[in-house]
C-alpha cells in the first residue's frame, strides 16, 4: 500500500486525494489556456472571499484545497454571529444543521447577494434541509 500524508484536500495516497489532485491540475491548466481571465480571477481570491461551513458529509474544502483556492472554515455555530459580505461565496456543507438564527442570516445574505454584482452567486445542493432554503 502507498504511503499517505495529510494535505489540505484530504489524504494524499487515497483514491479521492489522487483524483482531486489530478482534477485540480487538469482544471487549472485548462482554465489558464482557455479562460485566462477566469484563471487570473481564481488566483486573486483571498481566504476571506470564501466561507465554508463545516459539515460531516460534504467536504468542499478538500476540492478548494486541491485547487489551491484559499478559504476560511467556520463551524455551524459560528455562522450565528459571522458577518457576511454580499461579495463572498458561502458554502454550507451537508448536513447543513444550522440554528434558526443562522438560517435568518443565510436568508439575508442571499437577499443581499441578489443586489451584488452578477459575478456573485449562492448555491444549495439538492440535499439541503427544507428549512435552510430561501
Q: What is the pLDDT of residue 66?
A: 92
Local structure of 73: helix, strand or coil: strand
The Cα 119–Cα 52 span in angstroms is 18
Indicate if the pLDDT at residue 85 is higher than 80. yes
- Structural contact between residues 50 and 26, judged by C-beta atoms closer than 8 angstroms: no
Task: Report how far residue 7's alpha carbon sits from residue 61's, in angstroms, rounded to the nearest whole number.
Answer: 11
Burial label, 37 (beta-carbon count in 10 A; 0-12, 13-18, 19+): exposed
Grid cell in block for residue 55: 459539515
With a cut of 60, say whether residue 62 has pLDDT above it.
yes
Q: 89 vs 122, which has greater pLDDT?
A: 89
The model scores a pTM over 0.85: no
Q: Domain limits of the chain?
A: 5-132
* Non-local CB neighbours of 26 within 8 Å, separated by 6+ positions: none
Q: Are 96 and 128 in contact (CB under 8 A)?
A: yes
Q: What pLDDT does residue 109 have?
A: 87
pLDDT band at 123 (very low <50, low <70, confident <90, very high): low
CA distance 7 to 101: 33
Amino acid at each position: 500500500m502507498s504511503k499517505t500524508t495529510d494535505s489540505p484536500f484530504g489524504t494524499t495516497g487515497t483514491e479521492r486525494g489522487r483524483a482531486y489532485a489530478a482534477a485540480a491540475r487538469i482544471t487549472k491548466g485548462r482554465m489558464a489556456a482557455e479562460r485566462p481571465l477566469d484563471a487570473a480571477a481564481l488566483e486573486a481570491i483571498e481566504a476571506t472571499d470564501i466561507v465554508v461551513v463545516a459539515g460531516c458529509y460534504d467536504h468542499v474544502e478538500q476540492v478548494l484545497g486541491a485547487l489551491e483556492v484559499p478559504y476560511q472554515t467556520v463551524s455551524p455555530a459560528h455562522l450565528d454571529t459571522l458577518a457576511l459580505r454580499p461579495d463572498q461565496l458561502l458554502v454550507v456543507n451537508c448536513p447543513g444543521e444550522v440554528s434558526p438564527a443562522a438560517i435568518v442570516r443565510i436568508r439575508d445574505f442571499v437577499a443581499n447577494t441578489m443586489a451584488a454584482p452578477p459575478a456573485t452567486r449562492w448555491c444549495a445542493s439538492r440535499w439541503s434541509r427544507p428549512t435552510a432554503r430561501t
